[in-house]
């Protein structure tokens, strides 16, 4: 569904993505992991067309995304930090988004309802707490029932009830066959929500396979120690990169 074909990206002298080769298939949910600054958001933004790779190409449903915008309609994106017009009210924001997609007549309002956003529809975006803004971002990502969901640190800043609501929504979408990409530092969330693991380190894809095979390779039964081991390997034995990279 999404093919990342040897993309590279530099910011100044810093090579953030080095020849990334990845493929993301429908019905799977991918945990995109790596230390702070390892390139997770840059990868996601490249798929969204918000960052232009210096080399390589990205295909969505077999077609290059270069110079196109239409494919974005297939994707629901929840950014790490949602930026919205400060004076716009929640209700106005949702109306504006709906007006931008007039062809869509049915909305997925699960999160609008579960987060009770209607009750605060007259609040301005600029006055919202960080967590409430996250709820709005999440509800918008799911609004048009997209085939692909890209969620950048989706549970960060949410209270425990909201976290459970969002996780249960993500699981329902995954079960319905959607493609889901999640970046997070919260390993317990990733274990619950994903079946594929991608670990990025110093601009390279260090691990890319199923969570089952991650556990096998690391000889760990649980996800968290398996990731911890992977992190130790990245730090101590950088030379194992080639062995662990399944492109």
Ligand X SMILES: Nc1ncnc2c1ncn2[C@@H]1O[C@H](COP(=O)(O)OP(=O)(O)OP(=O)(O)O)[C@@H](O)[C@H]1O
**At closest approach, how far in Å is the CB of 21 from ligand X?**
17
> Locate tokens 């034995």: which residue?
237
Whole-angstrom distance, CA of residue 16 vs CA of residue 142: 29
Whole-angstrom distance, CA of residue 167 vs CA of residue 159: 12
**At closest approach, how far in Å is the CB of 209 from ligand X?**
20
By C-alpha distance, which of 47, 20, 38, 18 is closest to 181? 47
**At closest approach, how far in Å is the CB of 17 from ligand X?**
8
Q: Which is nearer to ligand X, 12 or 67 (CB)?
A: 12
Q: Which is nearer to ligand X, 34 or 146 (CB)?
A: 34
Whole-angstrom distance, CA of residue 80 vs CA of residue 183: 9
Q: Which is nearer to ligand X, 158 or 165 (CB)?
A: 158
By C-alpha distance, which of 157, 182, 140 is closest to 30? 182
| Residues of this chain that bind ligand X (CB under 6 A) | 11, 16, 34, 36-42
Q: Which is nearer to ligand X, 34 or 154 (CB)?
A: 34
**At closest approach, how far in Å is the CB of 203 from ligand X?**
8
Phi and psi torsions of 24, nearest 5°: -120, 125
């Amino acid at each position: 569904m999404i093919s990342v074909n040897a993309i590279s990206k530099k910011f100044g002298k810093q090579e953030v993505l080095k020849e990334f080769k990845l493929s993301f298939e429908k019905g799977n949910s991918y945990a995109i992991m790596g230390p702070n600054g390892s390139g997770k958001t840059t990868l996601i933004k490249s798929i969204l067309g918000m960052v232009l790779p210096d080399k390589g190409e990205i295909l969505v449903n077999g077609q290059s995304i270069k110079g196109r915008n239409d494919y974005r309609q297939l994707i629901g994106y929840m950014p790490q930090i949602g930026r919205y017009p400060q004076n716009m009210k929640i209700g106005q924001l949702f109306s504006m988004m709906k007006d931008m997609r007039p062809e869509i007549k049915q909305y997925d309002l699960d999160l609008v309802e579960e987060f009770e956003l209607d009750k605060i529809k007259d609040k301005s975006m600029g006055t919202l707490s960080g967590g409430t803004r996250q709820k709005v971002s999440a509800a918008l990502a799911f609004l048009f029932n997209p085939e692909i969901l890209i969620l950048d640190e989706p549970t960060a800043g949410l209270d425990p009830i909201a976290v459970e609501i969002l996780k249960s929504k993500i699981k329902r979408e995954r079960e319905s066959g959607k493609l889901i990409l999640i970046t997070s530092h919260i390993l317990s969330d990733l274990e619950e929500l994903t079946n594929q693991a991608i670990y990025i380190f110093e601009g390279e894809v260090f691990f890319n396979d199923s969570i089952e095979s991650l556990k096998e390779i690391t000889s760990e039964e649980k996800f968290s120690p398996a990731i911890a081991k992977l992190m130790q390997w990245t730090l101590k034995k950088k030379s194992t990169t080639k062995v662990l990279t399944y492109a």
